[in-house]
Amino acid sequence: MSIPQIFIDGNTGTTGMLIRERLLTRRDIELISLDDQQRKDLKYRRDALYASDVAFLCLPDEIAKQAASIAEKSNTKLIDASTAHRTDDRWVYGFAEFKAGQREAIMSAKRISNPGCYATGVIGILAPLIKAGLLPVDYPFTINAISGYSGGGKSLIARYESEDAENYKPDPFWQYGLSLNHKHLAEITCQLGLVHPPIFQPSVANYAQGMLVNVPLVLWQIDGKPTARSLHEILLAHYSNSCFVRVASFNETENLQELNPQALNGTNMMEIFVLSDDNTRRTVITARLDNLGKGSSGAAIQNMNLLLGMPENTSIVI
C-alpha cells in the first residue's frame, strides 16, 4: 500500500506552517514540497494538487476558490482552511464533534471546510443545546471573545512581533470587528441555522495564541425555562466520547478563580465551562481552546487523519 501524498498549498502562512511542522516527523505520510519559486507558479501548484491524496488549502479566500476549481477533476481530497467554503453545503463542515454523523461524513468526504477558530467555540457550545431544543434558533445570541494576536494572521503578528513593536508597545487588549460583520458570523449563523446573526464582539490580547469564547444566556427569558444544570447535562452527554472536547464538571467550574486563555496552547483540546448564578438565572458558557490548535491547524490534521482512516489523534497533542 502506497504512502499517502500530502500537499500544503500555502505553507508560509501561520496555519500552513503549523500543519507542515506537525507533519514533518510523520512516517505514515509523505509531504509534497515546492520551493519558493515553484509555489508561485500555477503549473507547479496544479501538478502538486493532482499528485496529492490530500491537499490543505491555507490560502486567501479567492485563491482557495481558484485552487479548488483547479483540483475539481482530480481525485485529491481537499481541506480548506480559509473562509471560502464554510457556508457551502457542497463542502462537509470539518468539525467532527459538531453533531451525530459528522465524523463519518468527514471520513467519506472529498471536500472539507475547516472551521474558523471563534466559530469552533461558538458552535461547540450552542449546537448540542439547539439540537436538544433547549435554546431556540431565534434567540438573540451575543458572543464575547478574546484571542491571541496570531489569529489575525501575518499583518497582526508583525504588528506585535516586529522590531518596532517595543517602541509603540501595542495595547494589551483591543477590540476589532467593530462593523459587527466579522467574517466568522456567516459561518456561525449558517451552521447553527440561526434566524438572526448574533452580536459578536471579538478582542485581541497581547499574547500570541489561546482564546476564550463566551456566550451569555438569560435563562428566565427562554421558553421552557432551561436551567444551567440542564444545559450542562446536554453538553456533557454530547461530548462524553470525545477525545478533544471536555466539559468541566459543575464542581470544577464553581471553584474556578480564573480562566487562563492560554492553558490549552499547543493542544487540539477544547474545554467548555458552564458558569451560572441560579438566583438570577443567568448563565455564561465559555469555550477555551488554542486558536492555532483546535481552532485551525490541529483541527485540519484531525480531519486529514479521518480522511485517511488513521487514528484521529495521530501527531496531535491532547
CATH code at position 208: 3.30.360.10
| pLDDT tens sequence across 106-116 | 999 999 999 99
Note whether residue 27 is domain-resident: yes
What 3 state SS string does 204-265 have? Answer: EECCCCCEEEEEEEEHHHCCCCCCHHHHHHHHHHHCCCCCCEEECCHHHHHCCCCCCCCCCC
Measured between alpha carbons, how far is 7 from 57 in angstroms, rounded to an integer? 9
DSSP state of 64: H
Same domain, 155 and 290: yes
Query: Is residue 117 annotated as a catalytic residue, yes or no?
Result: yes
Among the listed residues 58, 117, 190, 243, the single catalytic one is 117
Based on the domain organization, do 110 and 154 belong to the same domain? Answer: no
Mean pLDDT calculated for residue range 195-203: 93
Query: Which is more confidently placed, 103 or 206?
Result: 103
- List pLDDT tens digits, range 30-63: 999 998 889 888 999 999 999 999 999 999 999 9
| Residues 175 and 249 placed together within one structural domain of the fold | yes
Number of domains comprising the chain: 2
Q: Which domain holds residue 255?
A: 117-294
pLDDT surpassing 50 at residue 280: yes
